[in-house]
Amino acid sequence: MKYEEIDIYLIKTFPDFIVDEVDRGLPYCVAASFARYLLKAYENNSIDILVSAGQFIENLYFYENAKIDELATIGYLEAIQNVWSNSSTNPENMVNYLGEMSKKEWIRLDHFWSGVVTALR
């Protein structure tokens, strides 16, 4: 998959996720909207969506493309951490739905924001 195709893949995987026209072509904005979509799914106990989201994010790492990896981590995972932490929902609840690589990147983000590491790569 190409970096530019991720939004298409996301929309095909989650047909009820609506991308705002303003966000089209802006993958990090789409990732933030997707984080809000996942928060609503969590609040509605839509476990199937959360499981699929975890698989979606995990699959991004298998392309072994630096831009895609960065979007997966700084776009999707960090957006989930930020959006969920601004609600009454603990973002750590999403970790249960992530794959092995996604969980490692989640922890790396935690370490970055807590000052344990000074860079993500």
Q: Which pLDDT tens digit goes with each residue over 89-114?
A: 999 999 999 999 999 999 999 998 88
In-domain check, residue 119 = no
| Tokens linked to 119 | 């860079």
Q: Does pTM top 0.85 for this prediction?
A: yes
Domain residues for the domain of 105 are 3-16+24-114
Q: List, run by run, the mean pLDDT of 10-residue segments along the chain (121 residues).
A: 93 94 90 97 97 98 94 97 93 96 95 74 65
- Structure confidence at residue 119 (pLDDT): 61
Domain membership flag for residue 79: yes
Q: Is residue 120, in this structure, part of any structural domain at all?
A: no
Residue 121 placed within a domain: no
Helices (H) and strands (E) counted in the chain, each on its own, are 6, 0
DSSP for 28-78 reads HHHHHHHHHHHHHHHHTT-HHHHHHHHHHHHHHHTT--HHHHHIIIIIIIH
Establish if 59 belongs to a structural domain: yes
What type of residue is 72?
A
In-domain check, residue 46? yes
For the CA atoms of 107, 68, 42, 17, the dihedral, rounded to the nearest 10 degrees, stands at: 170
Structurally, the chain folds into a number of domains equal to: 1
Return all residues near 105 (Cβ < 8 A) that are at least 6 apart.
61, 72, 73, 77
Q: Are 52 and 40 in contact (CB under 8 A)?
A: no
